[in-house]
Structure 1
Amino acid sequence: MKKIHSIILLACATILGSCGEGFLEKTPQGELIQDQIETPAGVEGMLTGAYGLVNGNVNGTWGNYSSAPSQWLFGEVGADDAHKGSNNGDQPNMNQVELHDVSTTNDNTEIMWNRYYEGVARCNNTLRLLKAVQAGTSKLSDARAKEVEAEARFLRAHYYFFLRRVFVNIPYIDENVSSEDAMKVTNEEEVYPMIQADLEFAVANLPPTWDAANIGRASKVAAQAYLGKVLLYQKKYGEALPLFTTVIGARPSIETIPFENNFDVTKENGPETIFASQHAINPDGGGDNANVGDMLGGFYGTAPVSCCGFYQPSFDLVNSYRVAANGLPMLDGSYRTNPYKSDFGLTGNAKAQYAVDTTIAFDPRLDYTVGRRGVPYRDWGVMPGDAWIRDPAYAGPFVGVKHMVDGAVRGTETVAGAPYITSLNVNIIRLADVYLMAAECYVEQNNLGAALNLVNKIRLRAAKLPPKMVGNSRAAKYNVQQYGSFANQDQARTAVRFERRLELALEGHRFYDLVRWGIAKQTIESYSAFEGSLLSAFLNIHFEPKDEYFPIPQQQIDRSQGALKQND
């Protein structure tokens, strides 16, 4: 279901919670009243509006970066996978996120809060309208009414989950709370039980699949995967695991699905997609339904897509793809020894004559995740290095791959004149994520054999990636092998966590994983010491327990008139 915004749907999405009584006792022209939308069609339109916030955007294109469904700012720049990029003075409030010194007036947290609570409001309005319509004579079938309720509650759970990960202490407002009372709701109650209840209802009432005309709607499989994820975040491994195994059983084996298809705009909504933010270029060529959250990740200078130079992979991420002679990751952190730096730090003839070192042993997923000098980048040609980067001395020599599209489809899958706005979907949950969450559950239950099997399937798939070629040679000594065994639970835990980084890098999971594993402080401070030795802007990052989540926007505290309490 490629989403469609319209003035009518935006009105439907807000009218029930925003219109006061008796405004001159007239209906303003061009505005809908409740009687006009209290129909089955009105419910369906309202539900479409609720889906509309999955891409983190209310309208327009600029300014939705922190609410991106990819969560690149909080989930990756806030961790050890990526830098904000661009230069130090551009979007300075993003620097606060990267350096873990976020103020209560940071506009990125305000945008995140506003967009996702708008999503919650649209879900609640859908549920209110559904109840009103079903109480009348012209109503949806009972079966469809259950599906609509399940879709709306699934979406509400999604919006609340994203808010919970960022802010932790948030107010919970459902369809039974009036607009007046909503302002009085505190943020002192844990919201996970309500998120879980919504997803349990979705599991019980959504269809396993949808037909081609409804691609993108939440399904039973998506609800099972999402419920499992919410349980995993609460360390309820025994409850989460059966949900994950059910999802795995409902899809083809992971090694039969090409890794690169997840980031190919012509192969979207394939068997690996569990739930994705659906993006499209508007019929009029506009981009507000497109992937506006990732638009700053366009490149710079002579790049075919030149704007705006943000979101650059870190040295630490790139080097984590190095493998030992046995084709396995360097779980002990030795990948930081004598690190690969591309042409960073070279000058003069050495810089000009640089050629990529094809003898380094890398996991092939590196070159499908990161663009580096001397290696073909999608179908754009060989990545030239600094010519595509705004300030290499500030954020390094690398660019991201997963959020861009091939040049061959740029004319149809990007906004004319703004090719950094693409129609590429963003996978919020994909099958590999489910495999690795299931593996994590097995590790915590000390079933190391089952965890090993799932991790090895992910690695087997990675080994099938076509090598990037430099002339007649491979761009690296690509090597990815399977684990023979896990010696103990600690090694298994480390291996599963490392595999999540390699497989899901730059997809918005990393910071939240580090926090829920309880290793954010040690990981980020160790990363700062390494990364800062190369890029001084990131040296001496201090991470405190309060940095595991972000401050409630001060504007929201003020509006609540004392109901909301600031995070510690």
Structure 2
Amino acid sequence: MNKHLLYITLLASTLLAPSCNKDLLNVENPNTITEDQFWKTESDAEKGVNAIYSMFYQNGGFNRWIYFRLDLTSDEGFSRSPWLELGDWTRFQYINYNFWEGNVNTWRDVYKAIFRANQVLAYVPDIPFADEQKKSRLLAQAHFLRGLYYYYAAILWENVPLVLEPSEPADLPQQNTLEEVWAQVEKDLTAAAAVLPPQWDDPNVGRATKGAAQAMLAKTYMQQHKWPEAKTALDYLVTGEGQGYYDLVPAFRDNFRGNTENNIESVFEIQFSDANKTGEGDGPNSNMGSNRSQFFAPRGIGWSDGQARNWIIGEFKKEMNKDGALDERLRYTLFYKDLEADFGDKVYGRDWQWDADEAWFRKYQRDYYRSNEDYFNEINFRMIRYADVLLMYAEVLNELGQTANAYQYVDRVRERANMRPLATAYPAIGNDAAAFRERLKVERELELCGESVRWADLKRWDDLRSDAGVDKVAARDPDFNNFVVGKHIRLPLPQIEVENNTNLEQNDDY
């Protein structure tokens, strides 16, 4: 029967016979699988874990909007978008706490990923497996991904509910403190690190590894200034049994291109693909690409809703390399007016009329082989790479009073860029931990600009905890003149969540 005719027939029956049995109208879809039917086999468990990974392709997270929070809200970036509200959410002018693209969509997708992880952790233990190690590794991946999403919830909103069991629509979860959220992230990542393998075989490349769990655990400890614990986590990757799996690739640019993915520098990266040129969703043919390049590309190529701050170019140009030339990392980090004059690059094959103060993020753009951008960028996002790990290790050692030992790890990163050793270039630092810390802030920017770590860095360094600290940041990024200490260190909770859940209180000063 034609389905439209069926709907009309059912509607007419309802109107003409109001006393009929309502159960006759509750027709179950035989193609819909319920929880009771699904969580039965090893295949079901694998699909459940893959469904958590698939959340990387949703708009609220690493497909699109989270970069506005992690990159543009930091002092690296800003927005001149004609969509005023979108730009306002990069400059601490939060009016509508329910703004979908700035807040609610990311909240939804974070908790959607957590919900999927909770299902795996609740139901998979009861599924019989021929190989118990396979089951353990699936559960470890769910722990890793739940910990990862709660890490970003802590970075963005801080005081969020910890939902650790499969939830129902009527649930009203209790709000947790930031300290409690961090404790759960530690618990999940520790559980993951204990089980995950150092590497996967080729068909499973891109899944979380022991090194990825240890690196995320170190990031979690560092945000809390738990320096000894962070060192223990990083030891695995830098001086321990995991160090043999990681190194720096010879060419810096190979960390941001589609033909050099999952290389030895990769600790964890999101596996993007341009196979499905469709809309986002949960279907088998949904988009698995990244939208970032479309929104961050220069005018005429993409939407140009996100730009880089010009001060970063100046920072690169303060120090020449061993050959007296510019630091080549600048070439692959930013688009800017003098790029062709400095390096000979004619990006996207066009002549540009850029203003002197304009710059855009070049990492993950596709100018190296095409002349436009779209919503289907296939270049993997390197969430954690080994250069970041080495710089984190240097930071941890410095905070533990081992400044002299920390130099070598910064120098490994600088050497790849053909820069002189740090002690040679900046001898005044010596063993002064405060001076080393200030220089390390610059070293992380030169290496990691546009890689979605800067907002967490600013929070960890306590640069946003005082008016004096914020004033220094505002000298680089005038958007921070809007920053209110004690308030804008975190996003407001979506107001709709607060109104629908009596156990939630809006974050301070909102």
Instruction: State the shift of 1:374 in Å.
Output: 4.2
* Rounded Cα–Cα distance in structure 2 between residues aligned with 1:166 and 1:75: 8
Quickly say closer, same or farther: Cα 1:246–1:100, change in 2 above 3 A: farther
Contact 2:293 2:374 in 1 (8 A): no
Q: 1:427 aligns with which of 382, 393, 401?
A: 382
Q: Secondary structure at the match of 2:79?
A: strand
Task: Give yes or no for the alignment of 1:445 onto 2:400.
Answer: yes
Could you say which residue in structure 1 is the equivalent of 2:52? 50
Q: 1:526 aligns with which of 467, 472, 477?
A: 472
In the other structure, the counterpart of 1:161 is: 151
Counterpart CA distance in 1 for 2:288 and 2:411 is: 37
Greater alpha carbon shift after TM alignment, 485-494 vs 423-432 = 485-494
Query: Comparing 114-123 with 25-34, which one deviates more in the overlay?
Result: 25-34
Contact 1:80-1:317 within 8 A present in 2 as well:
no
Match of 1:248 among 234, 238, 241: 238
- Distance in 1 (alpha carbons) for counterparts of 2:29 and 2:493: 36
Q: Is the 8 A contact 1:69 1:426 kept in 2?
A: no
Determine helix, strand or coil for the equivalent of 2:78.
strand
1:506 to 446, 450, 456: 450
How far residue 526 of structure 1 moved from its aligned partner, in angstroms, is 3.1
What are the Cα deviations for residues 459-515 of structure 1, in whole angstroms up to 9, with x where unaligned? 11111xxxxxxxxxxxxxxx6553235321111111112111111101111122111
SS in 2 for 1:402: coil
User: Is contact 1:525-1:542 (8 Å) kept?
Assistant: no
Residue in 2 that maps onto 1:260: 253
What is the CA RMSD across the aligned residues, in angstroms?
Answer: 2.9
Answer yes or no: is 1:129 the counterpart of 2:123.
yes
Q: Which has the higher contact order (CA 8 A, sep 6+)?
A: 1
| Residue number in structure 2 paired with 1:115 | 109
CA distance in structure 1 between the aligned counterparts of 2:173 and 2:267, rounded to whole angstroms: 36
1:75 aligns with 2:74: no
Distance in 1 (alpha carbons) for counterparts of 2:70 and 2:367: 25
Q: Identify if the C-alpha distance between structure 1 residues 288 and 47 changes in structure 2 by more than 3 Å, giving closer, same or farther.
A: same
CA shift in 2, pair 1:547/1:84, >3 Å = same
Residue number in structure 1 paired with 2:211: 221
* Aligned equivalents of 2:65, 2:86: Cα separation in 1: 19
Does residue 1:183 correspond to 2:172, yes or no? Answer: yes
Mapped to 2, the partners of 1:523 and 1:507 lie a distance apart of 23
Closer, same or farther: CA 432–307 of 1 in aligned 2, 3 Å: same
Distance in 1, matches of 2:503 and 2:456, equals 27
Instruction: Tell me, yes or no, if the aligned pair for 2:174 and 2:504 is still in contact at 8 Å.
Output: yes
Amino acid at match of 2:471: E
Q: Counterpart of 2:450 in 1: which secondary structure? A: coil
The structure-2 alpha-carbon separation of the partners of 1:29 and 1:161, relative to structure 1 and needing over 3 Å to count, comes to same
1:35 and 1:182 map into 2 onto residues whose CA distance is: 23
One-letter identity of the residue aligned with 2:503: A
Paired residue for 2:339, among 375, 384, 396? 375
Change (3 A) 1:266 1:259: same
The DSSP-based 3-state class of the residue aligned with 2:482 is coil
Q: Could you tell me how far 1:430 is from its partner in structure 2?
A: 0.8
In the alignment, the residues of structure 2 paired with residue 160 and residue 23 of structure 1 have an alpha-carbon distance, to the nearest angstrom, of 44
Task: Please tell me whether residue 173 in structure 1 is matched to residue 175 in structure 2.
Answer: no
- For 2:416, the equivalent position in structure 1 comes to 461
CA deviations on 1:380-424 (whole Å, 9 max, x unpaired) are 45663336xxxx59xx421221020245368xxxxxx96353101
- Equivalent pair of 2:154/2:181 in contact (CA under 8 Å): yes
Query: 1:264 and 1:386 mapped to 2: Cα distance?
Result: 26
The corresponding residue for 1:355 is: none
CA spacing shift, 1:402–1:257, aligned 2, 3 Å = same
SS at match of 2:97: coil
Residue aligned with 1:31, SS = coil
Cα 1:71–1:460 shift into 2, 3 Å: farther
Distance 1:69 1:157, change over 3 A: farther
1:296 aligns with 2:295: yes
Alpha-carbon distance in structure 2 between the residues aligned to 1:185 and 1:295:
38
What per-residue deviation string (whole Å, max 9, x for no partner) do you get for residues 101-137 of structure 1?
4642332111111011010011111222313323xxx
From 485, 491, 498, the equivalent of 1:557 is 498
Q: 1:382 to 1:491 in 2, by over 3 A?
A: farther
Q: Which residue of 2 aligns with 1:323?
A: 318
Which one is further off, 283-292 or 221-230? Answer: 283-292
Does structure 2 retain, via aligned residues, the 8 Å contact 1:65–1:292?
Answer: no
Q: In 1, distance between residues paired with 2:153 and 2:370?
A: 34
The superposition leaves residues 231-284 of structure 1 with CA deviations (integer Å, 9 ceiling, x where unpaired) of 111111111112213212424674554211110110011011111111011356
TM-score by length of 1: 0.75
Q: Which runs of 5+ in 2 are unaligned?
A: 1-22, 280-285
The residue aligned with 1:470 is none
1:339 maps to none
Tell whether 2:22 aligns with 1:29. no
> Secondary structure at 2:268's aligned position in 1?
strand
Q: Is the 8 A contact 1:557 1:565 kept in 2?
A: yes
What's the secondary structure of 1:97's corresponding residue?
coil
- Contact 2:162–2:173 (CA<8 Å) still a contact in 1? no
What is the alpha-carbon distance in structure 1 between the residues aligned to residue 448 and residue 417 of structure 2? 12
8 Å Cα contact 1:460/1:482 also seen in 2: no
Could you tell me which amino acid in structure 1 is paired with residue 433 of structure 2? Q
Instruction: Measure the CA separation in 2 of the matches of 1:522 and 1:179.
Output: 45
Residue from 195, 208, 211 that aligns with 1:205: 195
Q: Cα distance, 1:370 vs. partner?
A: 0.7
**Deviation for aligned residue 1:28:** 1.0
Q: Distance in 2 between matches of 1:428 and 1:70?
A: 15
Q: Aligned pairs, how many?
A: 465
> In 1, Cα distance between the equivalents of 2:505 and 2:325?
51
Aligned-pair CA distance for 1:192: 1.2
How many Å separate the matches in 1 of 2:397 and 2:40? 48
**Contact 1:69/1:428 (CA < 8 Å) preserved in 2?**
no
Inter-partner Cα distance in structure 2 for 1:79 and 1:228: 21
